[in-house]
Structure 1
Amino acid sequence: MDIGFVTNVVFPFVKGGAEKRIHEIGIRLAAEGHDITVYGRHFWDGPQVMEYKGLTLYGVAPAEELYADERRSITEAIDFSTRLLPHLRRNVDDHNVVVASLFPYFPVLASKLTTLGTDTPLITTWHEVWLDYWDEYLDRLAPFGKGIERLTARTPHYPIAVSGVTADRLTKLGPTRDEIEVVPNGIDVDRIESTPPAADGFDVLYAGRLIEDKHVDWLLEAFDRVADAAPDATLGVIGDGPERDRLEKQAQTLEHADRVTMLGFLEEYDDVLAHMRAVDVFASPSTREGFGITFAEAMAADCTVIAAKHPESAASEVIGDAGFLASPTADDLAAVLERALSGERPNTEPTARAQRYDWDAIAAEAEQHYQCAINGNW
């Protein structure tokens, strides 16, 4: 196969889940002999078109700031999509399939324009479906976001969702469930298992963005409640975001504040993995997860995982019975956390569950679906 991936940012020059997925699948398919081109902004040092780990990186636009006031820049997305058009159009007949990273939507629409009148199918990867979350994210401009999301969903293409929860939400925008394939996100199991544990590890860990939907405030409250029953237990919180100041103030007011450490954002991924490898319990009571990659990583690190059971979170789908689910309240989170700190383990070994998310398995699954789109038997 000759595959063209479209993403305005390219891993590892910009680090995020969507671009990492393209990178990990791409390098594995390239190693199998497929031709892989990644179209993105020119964030790397070197020529506009260059080889990198078996991939051809194609810079269709110069590097540019992706965010404006902590929100993804609409003008950046439109600019990238406009610049993408002539480059992808020039090469589209060379590709058997184009796979476009969904967010921020406009590149998908541009990719569709380039494939019109060709035999090259377009696949999109849906990491999340926002629906009413646009009201919170864009406020008075929410109808614009909702309209673009709906237009993208109804543009003829082959959709892949990263979880069943995301696929079900996508059906609210137009596609039927049998039109959507599910290929989860992946992890490098060998890398996680071979990472040495941190020497200064914690007993309980959270890692992720510090935003309201993650509900780290519930975790802080729950830990404080059970700390007396687990007198030596400590909690580490890794991450940054708009909630950081508020959460740090909350942590300082806890009765057991001296056993809580706010580590902020860790630049090195291996440092995050080292902390996962050192802890007994990984807890993330997020109520909005299109997939939840940290759950899979924590299972590979042999943590007892605690997540929130919520209809807008794929956590239960990811961890199955290899972790524990709590109701989305501090009270129930505290009860489950106390059980986990006492040594209770889930029915299925977390490391066994994590194997299904290894990137080798995910790349093979993606390859199968790409070929189905090419053959017209999606």
Structure 2
Amino acid sequence: MRVAFASMSTAHHGDDWYAGRLQAVAERLAARGHDVTICCVQWWDGDHPSFDFEGVTYRRVTADHAPRAFVTKLPFALNSVRPDVVHVATRPHLAVPAAKAAGRLRRTPVVAEWWAYPDDETPPWRRRWAARSPARVLVPSDTVGTTVRECGAAAADVEVIPDSVDVAGIRDAPVDPRADVVYARSLDEYANVEAFLLALAELRQRDWRAAVIGDGPARPDAERTARDLRIDDRVEFLGALDPGDQIPILKGAHVFAQTATWAPFATDLLRALACGCVGVVAYQANSAAHELVEGDPRGALVTSPRELADEIVAAAELERWTVNEAYASYDHEAVLDRYVDCYETVVADYGLF
């Protein structure tokens, strides 16, 4: 199948959760033998209009981050690719109707990946147009799906496809027992790692070791908080680690705490749950993390650092696991099957009209 992704930003432009998810899907599709092109803002050197990397062809729509120019030129870029299906990101939102215009000319179905951000100031009419234009709107969680339906998308057109982790690799990975409790996430403005540290401070009289995995602008404040709470000798800040380096630490831990205030899908939490951790999630209005533990008998939802501390203590009564097969359906290959099924369905449906 020939698949064209349309996204102004890619993981090569910066550290964005959605862009990283899109690139991972594109590369896994290419590894399966599909013909994959990403139409995007140029990130490679030189004046050539396209660039091949990790089996994926990147095609220049614009040379700079200029949303209006990107939307205007996108139909021409897609027309040159001649895909069987177009998978377009909703940032900018007008890229979706632009992709649909190109798809209509070539009788090519369009699916949209909804990129939801808490600081999104897109005018409501653009959101509605983006939500109603594609054959299918793909979302990483029910939380994001609710947002899309509120924008006017028909419930039948919204499909949840979660993020994925390497469950096969988790089974074979070693165990690193350096920490009992772990927090992992990019330490940005939404990290809220202080809530995790406050919970640990409640447990000073108990025996524990903790690790914070991740880096970002909030890290200095988090380290300062640990010092102020006088728990810095028991909290190890490990910086940013690749998933493969995280997995042994997560397999050796007993509890994973999720306190971030924004998460369209809590991938780090999912990885920890698949590694056998007990997941304790602080409920947040802009986070979908709670969805992963609501049906997990080992998981818990909390609303304060005090409750988080209580659940960490309660988890001590549960058996330590290094793998949780209940999350096998989130393996990379299993989730990729859901994308392919979606593409094949919209292509088949489009041929009926």
TM over 0.5: yes
Q: For 1:156 and 1:60, how far apart are their aligned partners in 2? A: 20
- Please state how far the C-alpha of 1:198 moved relative to its aligned partner: 4.7
Query: How does 1:360-371 map onto structure 2 within 5 Å?
Result: 360-371=333-344
- Cα offsets for 1:100-128 (capped at 9, x unmatched): 12234343343233224331111011253
Q: 1:1-378 to 2 correspondence within 5 Å?
A: 1-11=1-11, 16-44=16-44, 48-62=49-63, 76-91=66-81, 94-128=82-116, 130=117, 133=118, 137=119, 142=121, 144=122, 146-198=124-176, 201-211=178-188, 213-229=190-206, 231=207, 233-264=208-239, 266=240, 268-310=242-284, 312-319=286-293, 320-321=295-296, 323-340=298-315, 342-345=316-319, 351-376=324-349
* Pair 15,147 (structure 1): closer, same or farther in 2 beyond 3 Å: same
Task: Tell me, yes or no, if the aligned pair for 2:8 and 2:91 is still in contact at 8 Å.
Answer: no
When the two chains are superposed, the root-mean-square deviation of aligned CA atoms in Å is 3.1
Output the amino acid matched with 1:220: L
| TM-score after normalising by structure 1 | 0.80
**Displacement of 1:28:** 3.9
Alpha-carbon distance between aligned partners in 1 of 2:15 and 2:244, rounded to the nearest angstrom: 13
Report the CA distance between 1:360 and its aligned residue. 0.6
**Distance in 2 between residues matched to 1:242 and 1:27, nearest whole Å:** 29
Distance 2:172 2:43 in 1: 30
- Aligned-residue offset at 1:45: 5.7
Q: CA deviation at 1:312?
A: 4.1
- Answer whether contact 2:223 2:232 (CA < 8 A) is retained: no
The letter of the residue matching 1:243 is A
- Alignment check: 8 A CA contact 1:284 1:308 kept: yes
Aligned-pair CA distance for 1:313: 3.0
Q: Deviations over 1:223-243 (max 9, x none)?
A: 1112312x2x12222233443
C-alpha separation between the residues in 2 aligned to 1:80 and 1:191? Answer: 38
Q: Is the 8 A contact 2:214 2:241 kept in 1?
A: no
* Matched residue count: 349
The share of aligned pairs that are identical, in percent, is 26
Q: Judging changes above 3 Å, is the alpha-carbon distance between structure 1 residues 186 and 155 closer, same or farther for their aligned structure 2 residues?
A: same
User: Cα–Cα, structure 1 residues 276 and 336, in superposed 2: closer, same or farther, change >3 Å?
Assistant: same
Q: Deviations over 1:289-330 (max 9, x none)?
A: 221111111122222221124554322322331542232211
CA shift for structure 1 position 156: 4.4
How far did residue 158 of structure 1 move? Answer: 1.8
Distance 2:113 2:37 in 1: 16
Q: TM-score, normalised by structure 2?
A: 0.85
Distance 1:198 1:145 in 2: 48
Larger mean CA deviation between 162-171 and 271-280 belongs to 271-280
Amino acid at match of 1:107: A
Q: Quick check: 1:198–1:274 contact (8 Å CA) kept in 2? A: yes
Q: Distance in 1 between matches of 2:173 and 2:317?
A: 23
Q: Give yes or no for contact 1:214–1:284 (8 Å, CA) kept in 2.
A: no
Deviation at 1:254, TM superposition (A): 0.7
Give the deviation of 1:31 after TM superposition: 4.5
Measured in 1, the distance between the counterparts of 2:170 and 2:15 equals: 18
Consecutive unaligned residues of structure 1, counting only runs of 5 or more, are 65-74
Distance 1:52 1:210, change over 3 A: closer
